[in-house]
Structure formats: C-alpha cells, structure tokens
Amino acid sequence: MERVGPMLEISDLHAGVAGNEILRGISLSVGAGEVHAIMGPNGSGKSTLARVLAGHSDYEVTAGSITFDGQDLLELEPEERAWAGVFMAFQYPIEIPGVNNAYFLKAALNAQRKARGEDELDAIEFMRLIKGRIKDLDMDPALLNRPVNEGFSGGEKKRNEILQMAVLSPKLAILDETDSGLDIDALRIVANGVNALRSPDRAIIVVTHYQRLLNYIVPDYVHVLSDGRIVHSGGKELAMELEERGYSWVETDAARPVAAVGA
Amino acid sequence: MSTTETIEALATQEYKHGWSTDIEADTLPKGLNEDIVAEISRRKREPDWLLQWRLQAYRRWLTMTEPTWHNVHYPPIDYQDIIYFAAPKSQKDAPKSLDEVDPELRRTFDKLGIPLDEQKVLAGVAVDAVFDSVSVATTFKEKLAELGIIFCSFSEAVREHPDLVREYLGSVVPYTDNYFAALNSAVFSDGSFCYIPKGVRCPMELSTYFRINAKNTGQFERTLIVAEEGSYVSYLEGCTAPMRDENQLHAAVVELVAHKNATIKYSTVQNWYPGDKDGKGGIYNFVTKRGKCLGDNSKITWTQVETGSSITWKYPGCLLIGDNSVGEFYSVAVTNNMQQADTGTKMVHIGKNTRSTIVSKGISAGRGQNTYRGLVRVNPGAANARNYSQCDSLLIGDKCGAHTMPYIDVRNTSAQVEHEASTSKIGEDQIFYCRQRGIPTEDAVNMIVNGFCKEVFRELPMEFAVEAQKLLSISLEGSVG
C-alpha cells in the first residue's frame, strides 16, 4: 500500500508531568523502514518521549500533535495504540506475579488480533510461532512458564521484551534504554533480535544513552535531545562523534536550530 | 483514567443474578420461639430426639449474646423479624425425577447456569440443589449408592439414616459453640448429608448449590460429611442469591469428619448478593465450618472463594486430632463497594506430627474492608506440629482496607510455626504494561488478580476454578478504569 507521508509525524510536542514541562517542542518524522536513534544526557526527555508515544497516563501533552499512520495518536488509549501497531520495550519491564509469561504473551497477541479482526491463535499455533523466536534470542524456554518477569535477571527481562516485540510484530517499535544493564553478549543477542525485525514496512526508534548499542543496531538517523528539544540531528556518524566528544558540545551548540530529518 | 474514575465506574455495576422467581412459598410466620422450632421439626417429620436437640439449642441460644469481636459493622439484627422456614409449594408433591421439577424452578437454575441435566453427567458432577430451604432435585444418587455412598438432603438423611446423623450431628460444631451455630442448630431447614464408606474413593465431585429466594427468609443450612477409614471425597458448594432490599441473614453450619487415612476436600464458591454500592441490601453470612481430622493420617482441605455477601464471617477450621493428620485452608476473599469480610481459619494441632497450611488472599476494592483472622494453636501433646501461614492482601484503589490478625498459641516447644504476610496495590505500572501490549484495562485487572489468587485457584477442581475466575471478574468489574 502506498503510504502518504511518514509513518510517524511528531510536531511541536510539549508534554510534562504534574505541570512540569519536560518536552519543549519536539518535531520528528519517522518513515517506514527507518531506524532512528534518540540520544541525549540523563534528564533530557528521551524516556518521556517514549512513554508519551505509548500513552502513559502520568504524562500530559500540553501542545503539539502526533500522527501515526494518518491517525491522531494522542486520541488513542494505550491498548488502542498497541492494536494500531505501536510497541514499547520498557526500560524496566514490569513483574506480574502469578501470571504465566507465555499466557500473558498469548493474551496480548490475541487481544491485538481480535481488535484487528483477525483470528485468534490457539495454543498450538501460538507455541509454533514462539518456538523459533525463543531460539533466536537464545532464551531459556523455561522462562515461558515462569510468571511475567518475576525473578528474571536484567538480561532475561530485556530479552523477554524483545521476544514480545518479535511475536507482536509491531509497525513502530520503541526501545527505551533496552541496552541498560546488559553485558556485551546479551547486548549482541538483543541487537540481533532487533535487527531481525528491520523491514521496509517497520520503523524502529532506539532510545539510548550510550553509543555502544548503535554499533549493533546501526541507525539511519541520530537525534540528540537536550532539555526537551532535539538540538542536533544527523546520520549514524553523529553517534560516533557523541561517543568521542560527549554531550556537552551539542548542548552548548543548542542555540543552533535543527530541522527535523526523516523520510 | 484515574483511580477515582475507576471507583466510580465500579460503583455503577449491577448484580448479575438480581431477579427472583415467582413461586409461592409455604412459609411460617415471622419470629422465633419454641413453637416455631417445634413447627419446623414437625413439618419436616423429624424424630423426637432431633426436636429435643433443636429445643436445647434454642434455649442455649437465648442465653448467648451476639459476638462483637469481629471487624464487621452492621445495624442490630431483629431476630423476631425473620422468617425461619420457607419451602417451595411444589415440594409437597416431592418430585421423583427432574422432569417433575417445577419448570419455573428449572429456569431459575438455568439462569444461574446450573445445568441439572446431561451436561452435569458429562462433567461428572452430581448436584443436590437447595432452593430456599428444601432440596428439590438430587442426581446421581443411584450411581453413588452402588458404591455405598450416601449423598442426599439433610432431611432425607434424618429419615433414612437416623443413626448416622445422630452419631455425628453436633460432634464437630456443638450447638454450644457460638451464637450463630446455636441459632442454626435450633432452626436449620435443610442442607446436605454425605457419607463415604470405608475404602471408597468417591468417583465424582459432589456439588451443592444454595440459593436464597423467598423474601426475608433466613437460610440455615446444615451440612454433614463423614469420610470413613481410607475414603476420599471432594465436595463443592456454590451459592448465588437474587437482589433484595432487606438484609438477609444466613447462618450455616458445616461439619466434616475424617477417619483414619481419609481425605475430605471441601470447596466453596460464594457469590451471594453483596448489596448495592451504598451497602444497602445484601446477605449477612455468619457461617461456622469445621472439620475434625479424627483418625491418623487423615486430611481435610478447605478451599474457599468468597466474592459475595455484604458481610462474610467465617473461619473454616480443622481439629487435627489424629497423628500425622493434615489441615489445609486456601482462601480468596473479595470485598468491593461496601462489602466487609472477616474470614480466616482455625488450625488446632492436637495429635503428633500434625501439619497445617494456610494460604489466604484478600482482595479489597471500592470501600471494601477485608480482615484475615486466623488461629494456629499447638496443644502440649502435639509434638512436631508444623504450620505454614501466608496472608497476602491486594488493594485496588485508595478507599479500601486490608487487615491481618493472626493469633498464634504454641504450647509445645517442638512445634514449627511460620507466618508470612504481604500487602500490595495493583500497580498503575502493571496495568499500563498490559495495556501497552494490547490488553484492555478490565482484562489486565482480571489477569493480575487471577495471578494473585493462583495458589488458591489451583486447589479448586478444574471446572470450578474456571467458574471462580469468572465470578472474580464479575465482582471486580470496573474496579480500575
């Protein structure tokens, strides 16, 4: 299907929590097939942007707009965004005691399929789907029968997020600091999992503090956030430059306006 | 949506079983005195010993005062403003088979989703249905009879097996036990009786549904289950009631006796009318349930899922008399809107090497108040007794309450007693996580609550675990928005 305009269009987005403005005018276009990295120092608003996209109720959008696939994303409830194809891998995946991990994922998948008017998968079809993904992520299959994220190591939790992403197969995947707390082997596995999902009809936004994840998930565009604004945008080489020079040079450079780049 | 909106949304839900059946009840006048007690006994054509037992209980009751130690609050009950006996009219021509059962009655059960027919055959469930105070239909009796199992209404047991009833009635819960047990002993109308002979494993789940129907009718069931040496039985009791304006008093007594090497599993799913959002109406449920592990190596398991009633007051307990006997208590109690529950268990270790396990899950939503009250007592002779207790509370919203009151009384130094307790709130972050994955709020709450209750649900027979989950989701509908 021919798409008119970018998949995701954020324009002049202002948002905050309890009257405290965190995002101060973000504009960003993300096209299908693209991978965008959002970088920036702590407190710059990276995770806030991810959560606002997912519809977290702690955050209030005070101005601006977000259009996803031609729909006003801000009008949608979090689950409706999920049904529309928005997925966020959590920085701190949530534990749900007593709820079987595979059951949870099947419930999520079938809720999405049902909302889209597709047939729900039965247990056998679901296990067939999930089996290969588990292997790709080098996950212990026993994790499927444990309660959601409960007692998982940091690496297991992050892999579980990527497993959910692989199974739910979103149009737009937002990874919120997925690299935090991962050792280099786990990082590689998670990155491979993400790369396997790169496709011409899917967009990925990688939120990260460090450049190292971007050695494995090579972005098409890099944006630097500072104090709730995108202060610099560029290609993948921008990440390398940040690694060498730190964030201070872009922050001091913040006066220079930067046009949003993208599709 | 905020938690406040959530709680408002929850307040608007209606009780799904709120209708009543138009059957003319054959009732006695309001009030309680010796004449009423005698009339109940006469109508039920009871032998004199039972009448005398009732009268003794009644006289004892007159000397007792209503307990006030519990953490539930309600206006004074006028015991003279209650009808103590009501029987559906059609019962006079006692139906011989299901075909003869009043069609209106059948429809009532159908609405409740109780299939008194082939479906139960396929499900392997025998149903002894209590409609107002008299049993109207008993299935599978013949099949069970082949094994020597007796499963019938209490009234029938009094007529057909008087010696058994006389031997065990009041042997676990004497009429002197407490105020409500004394009242029940005086006026009990009907209930179930179950006897499993030596060495017999009951091949199906035995099930009873109680339903309060006639207006202003207190229900006073009496259940007695006796498991002889080496036998096994699993019993399920499920309850619903139609909507009423006046509060309805319910004071049941359940007695279980497990002989040597016998096992009794007693499961309850209780969904009586909880009252409206302001607490108007609803059932007062004052129940005394106790099991006696009389023989060595005997075992009694209580599993309860309590989602209904405006007041729940019950402490199913075990007297662990036989050496190596085991008592278990698994409980889920839900209080929503203005519901109050004060529930828990009593485990009394008397024999050697006796073990008890207590797992209590309290869920409070709306302005509900949930109290766990439990006693673990280890008597001087109970060498090597072991107890493990776990009491978890889950709060939904910020106007509800959870209270835990464990009493531990250990008089033998070789005993090991463990108690764990936790209180948690359903996190907004848990719900957001589910919603981000595409699971709507209501389903997310159900999933989280079911996860919380998992240890209890897995103790229920499979088909009832499904029912319990449904009830839980009905009673928490709209509790988070």
Q: Could you tell me which chain A residue has the CA closest to the CA of B394?
A: A97
Q: Could you tell me which chain A residue has the CA closest to the CA of B452?
A: A98
Where is average pLDDT lowest: A191-195, B26-30, B124-128? B124-128
Q: What is the pLDDT of residue B217?
A: 46
A223 — phi, psi (to 5°)?
-120, 140
Which band of pLDDT confidence, cut at 50, 70 and 90, is reported for residue B118? very low
- Does residue A216 register a pLDDT over 50? yes
The pairing of beta strand B150-153 with beta strand B192-196: antiparallel
Of B430, B437, B440, the CB nearest to A164: B437
Q: Could you tell me which chain A residue has the CA closest to the CA of B428?
A: A57
Helix-strand-coil split of chain B, %, nearest 5? 25, 35, 40
Query: CA B47, CA B163: separation in Å to the nearest integer?
Result: 11
Cβ distance of B448 and A99 shorter than 8 Å: yes
Q: Which residues of A touch B (CB under 8 A)?
A: 54-58, 77-79, 81-83, 87-88, 90, 93-99, 104-105, 107-109, 111-112, 115, 147, 164, 168
The pairing of beta strand A20-30 with beta strand A8-17: antiparallel
Q: What is the pLDDT of residue B152?
A: 82
pTM of the model: 0.76
Cβ distance of B433 and A94 shorter than 8 Å: yes
Chain A closest-CA separation from residue B430 CA (Å): 6
pLDDT 10s digits, B326-379: 999 999 888 888 888 888 999 999 999 999 999 999 888 888 888 889 999 999
Residue A139 or B8, more confident? A139
Cβ distance of B436 and A87 shorter than 8 Å: yes
Task: Determine contact, residues B335/B372, Cβ cutoff 8 Å.
Answer: no
The number of residues making up chain A comes to: 263
Cβ distance of A96 and B428 shorter than 8 Å: no
Cβ distance of B438 and A82 shorter than 8 Å: yes
Q: What is the pLDDT of residue B172?
A: 95
Which band of pLDDT confidence, cut at 50, 70 and 90, is reported for residue A238? confident
Of B439, B451, B455, the CB nearest to A108: B439
**Residues in B touching A93 (Cβ below 8 Å):** 433
A–B interface: beta-carbon pairs under 8 A: 79
Q: What is the pLDDT of residue A22?
A: 94
- Does residue B450 register a pLDDT over 80? yes
CA distances in angstroms from B313 to A100, A258, B132, B197, B252, listed in the order given: 33, 68, 21, 32, 11
- Does residue B253 register a pLDDT over 90? yes
Q: Which residues of B touch A (CB under 8 A)?
A: 1-2, 427-430, 432-441, 443, 447-448, 450-455
pLDDT, mean of residues B165-174: 95
**Could you give the angle at the alpha carbon of B130 between the alpha carbons of B124 and B134, nearest 5°?**
135
**Residues in B touching A54 (Cβ below 8 Å):** 432, 436
Which band of pLDDT confidence, cut at 50, 70 and 90, is reported for residue B210? very low
Cβ distance of B436 and A112 shorter than 8 Å: no
Cβ distance of B441 and A54 shorter than 8 Å: no
pLDDT, mean of residues B303-331: 91
pLDDT 10s digits, A80-139: 999 999 999 999 999 998 899 999 999 999 999 999 999 999 888 899 889 888 887 888
Compute the CA torsion angle B139, B144, B146, B149 (nearest 10 deg). Answer: -130
Residue written as token pair 């021919």: A2
**Residues in A touching B428 (Cβ below 8 Å):** 57-58
Of the residues A88, A94, A121, A169, the best mutation for testing chain B's interface (the one with the most B CB atoms within 10 Å of its CB) is A94
pLDDT averaged over chain B? Answer: 79
Cβ distance of B440 and A79 shorter than 8 Å: yes
Query: CA A163, CA A197: separation in Å to the nearest integer?
Result: 11
Chain B closest-CA separation from residue A164 CA (Å): 8
- Does residue B132 register a pLDDT over 60? no
Q: Which uninterrupted H or E stretch holds A135?
A: helix A123-136
- Does residue B23 register a pLDDT over 60? no
pLDDT 10s digits, B262-282: 999 998 887 777 777 777 777
Chain A closest-CA separation from residue B343 CA (Å): 23
Cβ distance of A78 and B427 shorter than 8 Å: no
pLDDT 10s digits, A25-84: 999 999 999 999 999 888 899 999 999 999 998 899 999 999 999 999 999 999 999 999
Task: Determine contact, residues B402/B364, Cβ cutoff 8 Å.
Answer: yes
Q: Per the structure block, which two tokens stand in for A127?
A: 């296990």
Q: What is the pLDDT of residue B96?
A: 53
Cβ distance of B436 and A54 shorter than 8 Å: yes
Q: Could you tell me which chain A residue has the CA closest to the CA of B453?
A: A98
Chain B closest-CA separation from residue A106 CA (Å): 10
Percent over 90 (pLDDT), chain B: 37
Of the residues B429, B430, B434, the best mutation for testing chain A's interface (the one with the most A CB atoms within 10 Å of its CB) is B434
Of the residues B359, B422, B436, the best mutation for testing chain A's interface (the one with the most A CB atoms within 10 Å of its CB) is B436
Q: What is the pLDDT of residue B425?
A: 82
Chain A closest-CA separation from residue B361 CA (Å): 13
Q: Per the structure block, which two tokens stand in for B380?
A: 């001087």
Residue B471 or B158, more confident? B158
Task: Determine contact, residues B293/B226, Cβ cutoff 8 Å.
Answer: no
**Residues in A touching B1 (Cβ below 8 Å):** 57
Q: Could you tell me which chain B residue has the CA closest to the CA of A113?
A: B438
Q: What is the pLDDT of residue B306?
A: 85
Cβ distance of A97 and B428 shorter than 8 Å: no
Return all residues near A82 (Cβ < 8 A) that are at least 6 apart: A108, A112, A168, A170, B435, B436, B437, B438
The pairing of beta strand B253-258 with beta strand B222-227: parallel
CA distances in angstroms from B198 to B65, B68, B146, listed in the order given: 41, 42, 14
